[in-house]
C-alpha cells in the first residue's frame, strides 16, 4: 500500500532542489513556498501529481520554474474528492452481516456523493445499530474482537437470567397472620445526628444512645391446685373471650370419640399401610394451613387421634398451651385458642389414650397438668412443693395406664411413678437411674411391656430399664445400653406397635436405629448422617414414629428449601419423601403425624404450626 504522505514529502524535496539551468536570482522562489499544514486523506495523490507534471514543459528554466510552482500549488491546495467506498455493515444485535453489491470498487471508479445523498444516508432508521468499516475485508483481529464481544454478551445475559431466577425463587412469602396476633415490638428511636460544620465548626459533645435495660421476664409461680379456665386465659376477665373459649371446648368435647373407640384405635386396629409415597404426594400445604397457635417458641406438639376432627395442640416456651381446630377457617380466631397453665417451657404433651377429652402437659416449672376439655379446667397431676422449691424441674412424662404415669425429674437423676388416685403432691415410687447431676431428658414406656422404659441424658447416654430391677445401691442397673452417640441425645422412642425398634436423635449429627427385639447388655445401632445443629434459638429436633406403623419415622430438617422428612425404618434408615411447599418457610423442629388420617404437622420457633393434609 502507498504511503501518500511520505510520497508527497519526497516530491516536495525533489522539486526544491536547484535545477542546473536556474539562475541565482530565482533562488528566492523555492524559499518562499511554505510547506502545507493540512493533512490530506489517503487518496490517489500520485495519479494527480503525474497528470499535473505531464502537462508542464521542461525545456527552459522558466518552464521548469512554472512547472515547479504548479506542482507545489497543486500539492498545497489539493483537496481530494469524496470517494464512495463499499460499506461493510456490522449489526451489533445480529453479530455480523455483509453487503457485497458494490461494483464500483472492483473497477476502481469512485464518485463523490452529493450533499443531498449524504443527508439522505444520515436519516437511517434506528432499528439496528450499525458500524461502517472502510476496509473491504475484516482483519483477523477484528473478527476475533467481534467474536469475543458476542461471547461476553451471551455470558452477561446468562448471568442476569440466573440472578432473576435466583431472586424470584428465594423470595419469601410473608409470615401468616392467621391465629394469634403477634405483639408488635416498639420501634427504637435514635437521637438525630447534627453536622458540626453547620453548627459553626464546633463539635458538639458526643451523646451515646443508651437503650433502657430490658427487665427479665418475671417467672410467676402458679398455685399447686386445679386452675379454672378464666385463670389461664390471657384476658380471663373479658366475658366475650371467656364465652368464646367455653364454646370452643364444648364443640371439641362433643365431636371427640368415646373412650372405648380411642382405646380400640390405639390398640388392635392398625392403619392400612399401602403405598406411602403415593399418599404423601397428595398431602399439600396452603395459606389456611399455617396458623400461629402459641405466642412463643414451640417445644412440644400432639395431634388428637380422633378421625372426626383434626385437633392440634402445641406447648410454648413460657407455659402456653394452644389448641387449633384445623377445619375452622372462617371464625375470628381461625379455630385457635391459647391458655397458660404453666410458667416455663411445656416440654412434653400427649393426649390421654384412655380419655379423649384430656391433654396431659409437663413443664419445666415442675408440674404435670391435664387440660380437661369437658370440665374446662387444668387439673394438677403432679406437683411437689419441696421438689420445686429445691430447684427441681420436670422434663417429660409417659403414660402407663389410665391412672399411672412415669415422670422424668430434672436435677435429681430420678424417674418417678405417679398415681392420680393417691394424690398429686408425691410420687408413689422413685427410680434413680442417673447421678443427681445428670438429668433425664426424655422418657418412653415400652408399648407392650409396661415394666420396661427408656431414658436418655445430655451426656450421650441412652439406657433401657426394668422397674422390677431396683438395684443394690439405690442406682438402677440398665438391662440394655444403646451406644454410639457422642453428644446429647434429645429424643429416644420405642416403635409404637411392637417396641422392637428404637430411634434416637443426637447433637452429634446422627440418627440411630436400634433393634430391640432382644435386649442385650449393649446394642449399637445403624447410624444415618443428619444435620441436627439447630443452635440456640431453635428447639432441638425430636423424631416421631407413625402411630400405626413400626417402619415409618418423621423428622424435621435444616435443609433448603425448608422441609419435613419421612424415613423408612427397615434394617437401616432411608429417606423416602420430603414435604415441601411455598408456605413452609421455616424450620419445624417438633412434628407429629395423625394415627388414622394423612395429616402431618410441624411447629417452628415463632409459635406457628404448618399442616400438610391430603
pLDDT at 104: 44
Give the three-class secondary structure for 423: coil
Lowest mean pLDDT among 139-143, 481-485, 512-516: 139-143
Give the three-class secondary structure for 405: strand
pLDDT at 89: 42
Burial of 418 per CB tally in 10 Å (0-12, 13-18, 19+):
buried
pLDDT tops 60 at residue 46: no
Residue percentage of the chain with pLDDT more than 70: 69
Residue percentage of the chain with pLDDT more than 90: 55
Angle between helices 61-76 and 45-54 (to 10 degrees): 160
Lowest mean pLDDT among 165-169, 215-219, 287-291, 419-423: 165-169
pLDDT digits (tens, 9 = 90+) for 103-155: 444 444 434 444 444 444 444 444 444 444 444 478 888 889 999 999 999 99
Strand order in the sheet with 227-228: 227-228, 377-382, 368-372, 358-363, 346-351
pLDDT digits (tens, 9 = 90+) for 516-550: 999 999 999 999 999 999 998 999 999 999 999 99
Q: Residue 424, CB half-sphere, CA atoms under 13 Å: how many?
A: 15
The Cα angle at residue 374 between residues 599 and 255, in degrees rounded to 5: 40
Alpha helices in 55-175, H assignment, sequence order: 61-76, 104-107, 115-122, 140-169
pLDDT at 491: 95
pLDDT at 256: 72
pLDDT at 91: 42
User: H or E stretch including 257?
Assistant: none
Are the beta carbons of 406 and 398 closer than 8 angstroms? yes
pLDDT tops 90 at residue 33: no
pLDDT at 504: 97
Higher-pLDDT residue of 164, 602 = 602
User: H or E stretch including 336?
Assistant: strand 336-339
pLDDT tops 50 at residue 466: yes
pLDDT digits (tens, 9 = 90+) for 428-464: 999 999 998 899 999 999 999 999 999 999 999 999 9
pLDDT digits (tens, 9 = 90+) for 241-257: 899 999 999 988 887 75
Give the three-class secondary structure for 582: coil
Higher-pLDDT residue of 143, 515 = 515
pLDDT digits (tens, 9 = 90+) for 572-584: 999 999 999 999 9
Higher-pLDDT residue of 264, 359 = 359
Mean pLDDT of 469-484: 87
pLDDT tops 80 at residue 180: yes
pLDDT at 158: 85
Alpha helices in 439-497, H assignment, sequence order: none
The mean pLDDT of the chain is: 79
237 pLDDT tier (thresholds 50, 70, 90): confident
pLDDT digits (tens, 9 = 90+) for 316-334: 999 999 999 999 988 888 9
Which residue shows C-alpha cell 523555492? 30
What is the location of CATH 2.130.10.10 in the chain? 227-613
pLDDT tops 80 at residue 57: no
pLDDT at 238: 84
Residue 178 is placed in which grid cell? 392467621
Specify the CATH class of 227-613 in words.
mainly beta
pTM metric for this prediction = 0.69
In this structure, what are the phi and psi dihedrals at residue 343, rounded to the nearest 5 degrees? -120, -10
pLDDT at 4: 62
Mean pLDDT of 298-314: 94
Are the beta carbons of 590 and 539 closer than 8 angstroms? yes
Lowest mean pLDDT among 22-26, 51-55, 141-145, 419-423: 51-55
CA–CA gap between residue 507 and residue 558 (Å, rounded)? 13
CA–CA gap between residue 453 and residue 402 (Å, rounded)? 17
CA–CA gap between residue 372 and residue 351 (Å, rounded)? 10
pLDDT at 384: 94
pLDDT at 282: 94
CA–CA gap between residue 505 and residue 395 (Å, rounded)? 17
pLDDT digits (tens, 9 = 90+) for 398-435: 999 999 999 999 989 999 999 999 989 999 999 999 99
pLDDT tops 90 at residue 65: no
Mean pLDDT of 285-300: 95
Residue 337 is placed in which grid cell? 385458642
pLDDT at 583: 93
Amino acid at each position: 500500500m502507498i504511503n501518500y504522505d511520505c510520497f508527497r514529502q519526497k516530491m516536495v524535496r525533489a522539486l526544491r532542489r536547484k535545477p542546473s539551468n536556474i539562475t541565482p536570482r530565482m533562488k528566492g522562489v523555492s524559499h518562499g513556498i511554505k510547506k502545507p499544514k493540512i493533512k490530506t486523506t489517503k487518496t490517489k495523490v500520485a495519479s494527480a501529481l503525474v497528470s499535473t507534471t505531464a502537462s508542464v514543459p521542461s525545456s527552459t528554466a522558466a518552464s521548469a520554474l512554472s512547472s515547479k510552482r504548479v506542482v507545489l500549488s497543486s500539492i498545497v491546495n489539493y483537496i481530494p474528492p469524496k470517494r464512495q467506498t463499499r460499506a461493510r455493515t456490522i449489526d451489533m444485535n445480529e453479530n455480523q452481516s455483509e453487503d457485497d453489491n458494490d461494483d464500483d470498487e472492483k473497477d476502481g471508479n469512485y464518485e463523490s456523493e452529493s450533499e443531498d445523498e449524504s443527508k439522505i444516508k444520515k436519516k437511517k432508521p434506528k432499528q439496528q445499530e450499525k458500524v461502517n468499516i472502510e476496509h473491504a475485508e475484516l482483519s483477523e483481529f477484528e473478527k476475533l474482537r467481534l467474536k469475543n464481544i458476542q461471547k461476553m454478551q451471551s455470558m452477561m445475559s446468562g448471568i442476569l437470567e440466573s440472578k432473576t431466577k435466583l431472586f424470584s425463587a428465594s423470595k419469601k412469602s410473608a409470615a401468616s397472620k392467621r391465629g394469634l396476633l403477634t405483639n408488635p415490638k416498639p420501634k427504637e428511636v435514635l437521637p438525630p445526628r447534627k453536622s458540626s460544620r453547620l453548627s459553626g465548626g464546633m463539635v458538639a459533645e458526643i451523646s451515646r444512645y443508651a437503650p433502657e435495660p430490658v427487665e427479665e421476664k418475671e417467672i410467676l409461680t402458679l398455685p399447686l391446685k386445679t386452675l379454672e379456665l378464666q385463670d389461664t386465659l390471657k384476658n380471663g376477665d373479658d366475658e366475650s373471650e371467656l364465652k368464646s373459649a367455653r364454646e370452643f371446648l364444648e364443640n371439641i368435647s362433643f365431636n371427640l370419640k368415646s373412650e372405648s373407640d380411642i382405646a380400640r384405635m390405639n390398640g388392635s386396629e392398625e392403619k392400612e399401610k399401602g403405598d406411602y409415597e403415593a399418599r404423601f404426594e397428595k398431602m399439600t400445604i396452603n395459606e389456611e394451613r399455617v396458623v400461629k397457635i402459641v405466642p412463643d417458641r414451640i417445644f412440644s406438639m400432639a395431634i388428637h387421634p380422633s378421625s372426626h376432627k383434626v385437633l392440634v395442640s402445641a406447648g410454648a416456651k413460657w407455659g402456653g398451651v394452644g389448641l387449633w381446630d384445623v377445619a375452622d377457617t372462617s371464625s375470628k380466631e381461625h379455630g385457635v385458642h391459647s391458655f397458660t397453665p404453666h410458667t416455663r417451657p411445656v416440654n412434653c404433651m400427649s393426649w390421654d389414650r384412655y380419655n379423649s377429652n384430656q391433654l396431659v402437659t409437663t413443664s419445666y416449672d415442675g408440674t404435670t397438668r391435664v387440660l380437661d376439655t369437658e370440665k374446662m379446667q387444668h387439673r394438677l397431676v403432679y406437683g411437689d412443693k419441696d421438689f420445686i422449691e429445691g430447684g427441681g424441674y420436670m422434663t417429660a412424662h409417659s403414660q402407663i395406664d389410665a391412672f399411672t404415669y412415669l415422670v422424668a425429674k430434672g436435677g435429681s437423676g430420678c424417674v418417678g411413678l405417679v398415681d392420680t388416685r393417691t394424690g398429686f403432691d408425691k410420687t408413689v415410687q422413685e427410680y434413680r437411674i442417673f447421678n443427681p447431676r445428670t438429668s433425664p431428658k426424655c422418657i418412653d414406656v415400652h408399648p407392650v411391656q409396661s415394666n420396661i422404659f427408656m431414658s436418655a441424658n445430655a451426656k450421650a447416654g441412652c439406657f433401657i430399664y426394668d422397674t422390677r430391677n431396683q438395684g443394690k445401691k439405690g442406682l438402677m442397673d440398665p438391662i440394655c445400653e444403646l451406644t454410639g452417640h457422642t453428644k446429647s441425645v434429645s429424643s429416644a422412642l420405642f416403635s409404637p406397635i411392637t417396641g422392637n425398634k428404637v430411634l434416637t436423635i443426637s447433637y452429634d449429627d446422627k440418627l440411630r436405629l436400634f433393634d430391640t427385639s432382644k435386649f442385650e447388655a449393649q446394642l449399637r445401632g445403624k447410624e444415618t448422617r443428619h444435620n441436627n445443629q439447630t443452635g440456640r434459638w431453635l428447639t432441638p429436633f425430636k423424631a416421631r414414629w407413625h402411630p400405626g406403623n413400626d417402619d415409618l419415622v418423621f423428622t424435621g430438617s435444616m435443609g433448603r428449601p425448608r422441609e419435613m422428612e419421612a424415613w423408612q425404618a427397615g434394617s437401616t434408615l432411608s429417606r423416602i419423601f420430603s414435604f415441601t411447599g411455598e408456605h413452609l418457610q421455616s424450620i419445624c423442629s417438633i412434628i407429629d403425624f395423625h394415627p388414622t388420617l394423612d395429616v402431618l404437622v410441624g411447629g417452628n420457633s415463632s409459635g406457628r404450626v404448618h399442616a400438610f393434609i391430603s
